[in-house]
Chains A and B, each alone.
Chain A
Amino acid sequence: MTAIAERPAVAETPVPTEFAQVFEPSAEATKQLVIINWSGELDKIWPTLIMSSAAAASGYKTSVFITFWGLLPFVKNQRRIVGENWMQKMLTLMQRPGIDHLKLSKMNFLGMGPWMIGTLSKKYNVAKPAELLEACQALGVEFIPCQMTMEMFGLKREDMIDGLGEPAGAATVIELMTQPNTASLFI
């Protein structure tokens, strides 16, 4: 318990009151799951959100560090092109950001693959990434955006969905991953 409470750099950062509940780590949590969410693809975001919602539902303190392509699903759905310069804008022109606009890492076929997966998931009543993300936030999963990649992609806080944690860097994640009773995944 004490090991988890000791996270001064992040814990002391003021959090907007309306999200305070989202960030409140479970008082009973003694085990944690840390996921580095590097990929922005549908078939990788899905397991990230399933594992983190299941872990949080099971009482684990759960943190997801979102970095590189993994930042784009956490951009607001209605943002079409983000970034400050033409190269950053090109990136999101080629890869539309937002949790509802994900591509598959294989068999994408210009959107045919995601459409079929979406249809199958509906038919078999599997929760969509957007629903899982909502569940994660309700259960207190902390999503920590990577400060460095946000800058490189020209992403601002207002481009990102509400309820994310304070942007942080590699040392923060290393500290989380090396806590006792912690499982870490790179997805």
Chain B
Amino acid sequence: MPSTTILDARGLKCPMPIVKTAQQIKVVSRGDLLEVLATDPGSVADFAAWSRSTGNELVGQSVEDGVYHFVLRRK
């Protein structure tokens, strides 16, 4: 069962959610999950692109009360 780290990027605007994600994913173990909370609507496209660029898989995403949840698996 992979462990999940939460990164709160709510309120941050482009490019800070992915900047924080890039810094945080380095301290997540390979195969473990990082769940990012964000409120920037641009992050929907950006997290998909970031996942393709870096190879860290976007295993799930959802939106709840205006908060986006992106679940990434560290490659």
Residues of A within 8 A of B (CB): 31, 50, 53-54, 56-60, 124-127, 132, 135, 138-139
Contacts and interface: CB of A to CB of B under 8 A. Distances in A.
Tell me the interface secondary structure of chain B in the complex: helix
A57 B18 contact: yes
11 contacts: A54-B14, A54-B18, A57-B18, A57-B19, A58-B53, A59-B54, A125-B11, A127-B13, A127-B15, A135-B19, A139-B23
B9 to A, nearest CB: 11
B21 interface: yes
A58 B13 contact: no
A59 B54 CA distance: 6
Interface residues of B, number: 17
Most central of B21, B49, B53 by chain A CB within 10 Å? B53
A53 B19 contact: yes
A57 B22 contact: yes
B14 A50 contact: yes
Given A57-B19, A58-B50, A59-B55, 10 more contacts: A53-B19, A54-B15, A54-B18, A54-B19, A58-B18, A58-B49, A60-B53, A125-B13, A127-B16, A135-B16
